Amino acid sequence: MPRTLLERSDAVRALAGVFRRRGFESSSLSVIQQEAGIGRGSLYHFFPDGKTDMARAVLDQVSDWFEDAVFAPLRSATDAAEAVSAMTRAVADYFVSRENVCLFAAMTLGEEKETFAGEVKAYFVDWVDALAALLQRGGLTPGDAHENALDAVAMIQGGLIITRAYGDESTFLGVMERVERRLLAQLC
């Protein structure tokens, strides 16, 4: 008894939740249809190439969100300090409400890492470069700007790992606060 009710983007959102909770490899088709509440027929209707297609769609959606909510504001900002604060706020909210999991980081491990190597690299490069450019506009040398941007993104990603290990959300918020403070300190 099929029902019509699904937008593709809703499906992608549900898939993202499953992948975050269980990881890509251990989300079997049966698990996905059960946890996402989407039948196998719909899944292969929306994602004809199967699991890989689902992962690509999820990654694309995450990428779009970061482009709109993080990278673009970073690129177009005039007030560097304000932009740094806005970034840390947006990123902290995002990951806290997403189980402290970055799906791009998760894709640097496991079976599919080569499949998505390009997208994953682009995500991190975009982030680091957008932040570095902002820091440079804020007065840092190109070298210092790039190093500080890379370190900030690394600290965020590492913060997610340790937070999951500790099982304590406040750890991540603490890390994010100090990322912000360190970046602001660079802007003298």
* Candidate segments 23-31, 60-68, 88-96, 102-110, binder of DNA by CB under 7 A: 23-31
* Candidate segments 45-53, 58-66, 67-75, 157-165, binder of DNA by CB under 7 A: 45-53
If the CB atoms of residues 6 and 96 are measured against DNA, the closer one turns out to be 6
- Gap between the Cα atoms of 14 and 138, Å rounded: 39
Q: Which does 97 bind (CB under 5 to 8 A by kind): DNA, a copy of itself, none?
A: none
* Candidate segments 17-25, 35-43, 48-56, 75-83, binder of a copy of itself by CB under 8 A: 17-25
- Gap between the Cα atoms of 187 and 84, Å rounded: 10
- Gap between the Cα atoms of 24 and 77, Å rounded: 35
CB of 40 to DNA, least distance (A): 4
* Site residue total, a copy of itself (CB under 8 A): 40
* Rg of the chain over all Cα atoms, to the nearest angstrom: 18
Say whether residue 146 binds DNA (CB under 7 A): no
User: Are 70 and 28 in contact, with CB atoms under 8 Å apart?
Assistant: no
3-class SS of residue 168: coil
